[in-house]
Amino acid sequence: MPQGMIVKALSGYYYVLPEGAELQDVNTITCRGRGVFKNRKITPLVGDRVMFEETENGEGTVTEILPRSSELIRPPIANVNVVVLVFSVTEPVLNLQLLDKFLVHIENTGIEVVLCFTKSDLLSEHTHPAAPKEMTVAELERITKLYEGIGYTVLKTSSRQRVGVESILQHLEGAVSVFAGQSGVGKSSLLNEMISGRNLETNAISQRLGRGKHTTRHVELLPLNNGGLVADTPGFSQLDFMEVEAEGLSSCFKEFAEVAEGCRFRGCLHLHEPDCKVRDAVAEGTIAASRYDHYLLFLGEIKDRKRRY
């Protein structure tokens, strides 16, 4: 029975690329999933390596999903090597709370993360008094140093000026990657610079709401110019913590992990426990107060979720 990879899922159909074939529309087999998947509450995902059989009408049926190396719930995709987390530095302004929430979800999966800050060409040197939320070059540099110090790769890009595109391509060479982030931050514009012959739909930012419309409505793997595969995905303005437990939240903050080993109590939540080394590090400035504040906020969300359910 032939093997392949699901490269697109849309309206109940799975587009399977047979093993050894090049990623082109003419090479994919349009498949349905076996009924047993629904009975077992299993959903085939883009990125899944599968067994399939062709039917007489030229279509096919996915008969088996092979073991996954990784799985993301939002966006729904399997076997990803790298997540490129895309946030604009302006229009809409960079939201560090939402950035940290995305990072928690990705760290919980164990997948490598690359941070990409878009629209860097729109930054000003100084904040205008009438626009206190405006990002400046100096503020972006401070934020970049913060996340690089934690251990993340941070790339700054401008699709309009084609700045930073080659750096991202180098990080994604030969990998299966996914672009994720808030709506309207320029994911599709960036991908248009990285994929030959594609023109993904883009949309302007709503001036009233300060966010973009969802121009991507399904998950699909696309071929990069360097042999990698990348998924453009719908943007998200909010995430929940259904997959993260309170006891595991701390480990999703990379800079907490080593420090937390010195806490007096195993399973320390870094709230009011005595001899908490994470709180000591925040007081000393070796852990950023913004990151700790977001940790407390997310911990509260997780506890509220438990009370509701």
pLDDT in tens, 23-53: 776 789 999 998 888 888 889 999 999 999 9
User: pLDDT value at position 213?
Assistant: 44
Question: Was 183 annotated as part of a binding site?
Answer: yes
Question: Was 252 annotated as part of a binding site?
Answer: no
Question: Was 31 annotated as part of a binding site?
Answer: no
Burial class (CB in 10 A: 0-12, 13-18, 19+), 251: middle
Question: Was 268 annotated as part of a binding site?
Answer: yes
CATH code of the domain made up of 246-308: 1.10.40.50
CATH of 3-67, one of 2.40.50.140, 3.40.50.1100, 2.10.10.90, 1.10.3210.10: 2.40.50.140
User: pLDDT value at position 186?
Assistant: 76
How sure is the predictor about 302, in pLDDT bands with cuts at 50, 70 and 90? very high
Question: Was 101 annotated as part of a binding site?
Answer: no
Question: Was 276 annotated as part of a binding site?
Answer: yes
Note the pTM of the prediction, 2 decimals: 0.81
Of 66-75, 223-232, 286-295, where does the model show the most confidence?
A: 286-295
Question: Was 182 annotated as part of a binding site?
Answer: yes
Question: Was 118 annotated as part of a binding site?
Answer: yes
Query: What is the residue extent of each domain of the chain?
Result: 3-67, 77-232, 246-308
**Please, are residues 212 and 86 in contact by the beta-carbon 8 Å criterion?**
no
What is the pLDDT averaged over residues 88-104?
89
State pLDDT tens for residues 205-252.
333 334 444 444 578 898 887 778 998 666 554 567 778 899 999 999
**Unique residue bearing structure tokens 């001899």:** 275
Q: Tell me the CATH architecture of domain 77-232.
A: 3-Layer(aba) Sandwich (3.40)
The yes-or-no verdict on residue 86 having pLDDT over 80 is yes
Question: Was 189 annotated as part of a binding site?
Answer: yes
Q: What percent of the chain has pLDDT over 70?
A: 84
- Calculate Rg over the CA atoms of the chain: 21
* C-alpha distances in Å from residue 185, one per residue of 34, 66, 160, 203: 37, 34, 13, 10
Question: Was 263 annotated as part of a binding site?
Answer: yes
Question: Was 43 annotated as part of a binding site?
Answer: no
User: pLDDT value at position 199?
Assistant: 58
Question: Was 250 annotated as part of a binding site?
Answer: no
